[in-house]
Structure 1
Amino acid sequence: MFSHEEKGPSPPHVHAAYGDDYAIFSIQDGVLLEGKLPENKQILVQAWIEIHKEDLQADWCLAVSGQTPLPIKPLD
């Protein structure tokens, strides 16, 4: 999660990488905003976002206020 990006303010989102693929997903609804992942990995990321939505939203608020986000359990 990056709160200060060169493109200016953006909606709450997370970055995901798998191999050489990279994507950005909305925290609100898991929509793919940019990039690509293999379809099966994209589905896993979107499910992870849904499971951790409240934690992700709280971390986004921390990050944009200059605080350190709390750890969230990654996909195993």
Structure 2
Amino acid sequence: MPTISQFFGIVIQMFWREHGPPHFHALYAEYEALIDIRTLEIIKGSLPKRALALVLEWAAQYQAELMEDWNLCQQKQLPKKIAPLE
């Protein structure tokens, strides 16, 4: 699964050939959450409160880029890296 961004110990990844809704995986320590790109809501899993706040801040900033990466993955192409949260 390609890693598209990393910041503050959080890893953002996207799988190829996954089914909708468009989403990404956020991993932090032993936690993992699937986040809907369109609504920025957790689909499955959980993250600690602070890590989730950072992920949602980042995702809101790069929502268009996340959708582009989702579309690339659906076409079995490598997603582009996205800048980390600073």
TM-score (norm 2): 0.78
Alignment size in residue pairs:
73
Give structure 1 stretches of 5+ with no counterpart: none
Structure number with bigger Rg? 1
Pick from 75, 80, 84: which aligns with 1:65?
75
Report the secondary structure of 2:56's partner residue: helix
TM-score (norm 1): 0.87
Counting aligned pairs with the same residue, the percent is 36
Which is strand-richer, 1 or 2? 2
Higher relative contact order (CA 8 A, sep 6+): 2
Between the aligned partners of 2:23 and 2:71, the Cα distance in structure 1 is: 11
Give structure 2 stretches of 5+ with no counterpart: 1-13
**Two-structure CA RMSD over aligned residues (Å):** 1.2
